[in-house]
Amino acid sequence: MDIKLNLINRSNDSNNSSVVIFQKNAASNFNELAVAWKVIQNLGVGDSHPFSFPVATYVSASDSWGNYTPQLAAKKGALLQMEQTNSGAQLTQAGCATNPVQIHVANALPQGAVNASVFRDGTLLATLTSIAPGQKAVFEFKPTIWIGVESQVEQGQVMNSAILSNVNTELSLLGVASADIIMTGGGPGANSTPFSFVLDNIQHA
């Protein structure tokens, strides 16, 4: 099921700032960098930007030869593995992960590291690189999004720690079917306030 969200700009922003939305991989260490899942640009004051947040996630892997697998649907608790077949490396469904809230991607190739990527709504959500044979990537996403204003970000780009430290608003989507995200704050001069994001007009699932 998709969660229907609508970003509404009620800020005092005069710089035409971009809004970045992403999720953090809760299964990884705190030093891991996150991916800009969605970047909303040119949203004028008073304008709105509707978008969907699908519950479904998909996984793709790439090998050290630069080959990319098709995206496979992967629910919580899924185990996928990259394995060698007669026609080359393939990503396959391989049963259940050892943790029911995580997605595991194992490298079962005899040689060569792989990269694992998770997609939501067809857009890159998270990626883990250099998974050696016999190792696995672990992904876990809480039902929350992070949102903030950042000018130097492109959608699908891995964000550095300086950008991540500027984004500190976490919005819970647990039990939400649809909601508005109200953006306020900003503005020129000494009277400007930090940007703020809150959920409003929430319809529960």
What does the pLDDT look like over 127-147, one tens digit per residue?
A: 999 999 999 999 999 999 999
Is the pLDDT score of 123 beyond 80? yes
Q: Are residues 77 and 115 in the same domain?
A: yes
Each as own residue / partner, the long-range contacts of residues 83-88 (CB below 8 Å, 24 or more positions apart, any chain) are: 83/108, 83/109, 84/108, 84/109, 84/110
- What pLDDT does 31 receive? 63
Number of domains in the chain: 2
**In the predicted model, what is the mean pLDDT of the chain?**
93
Is the pLDDT score of 103 beyond 80? yes
Q: Are residues 70 and 131 in the same domain?
A: yes
Which residue range forms the structural domain that includes residue 79? 58-139
CA distance 74 to 55: 11
The model carries a pTM of 0.93
Q: Are residues 168 and 102 in the same domain?
A: no
